Amino acid sequence: MIREDGGASKFFDFGLYIQHNRDVGDGLSGLVWAMIKMKIRGRSIKFKDNCHVIAEGNLVLSASEGYVGDQKTAFFDLFRIEENKIVEHWDIITPIDKFLNL
């Protein structure tokens, strides 16, 4: 999704999109507003490695590593798919040192 042409609309159905993250609203406007807030706060998300992708039926779980700002971070994303587009999303974003209790 990150490296493909076509932008987010190729992968998301923003008319149906439900976001289960208290910091991000539903639909395109919720996602855009969350990205603007992060940029204002000087934080950016960078995905470095996708470690696992597991799919069953219309659910896909992705486990990735990357950064939020300068903090090495673990990303766990669960997507629900309808008609080949993402319509629902749950996530866990946590610093790796806290996730591993280091």
- DSSP one-letter string for 39-99: HHTT--EEEEEEEEEEEETTEEEEEEEEEETTEEEEEEEEEEEETTEEEEEEEEEEEHHHH
Whether 50 maps to a domain, the answer reads yes
The whole-number pLDDT of residue 2 equals 52
Whether 1 maps to a domain, the answer reads no
Phi–psi pair at 15, nearest 5 degrees:
-70, -30
The whole-number pLDDT of residue 101 equals 62
pLDDT in tens, the chain (102 residues): 455 555 666 787 878 888 887 777 777 777 777 777 777 887 777 888 989 999 999 999 999 999 988 889 999 999 999 999 989 989 888 998 866 665
Whether 25 maps to a domain, the answer reads yes
CATH number at 87 reads 3.10.450.50
Domain extent, residue 60, equals: 8-99
Whether 3 maps to a domain, the answer reads no
Tally of domains in the chain: 1
Whether 34 maps to a domain, the answer reads yes
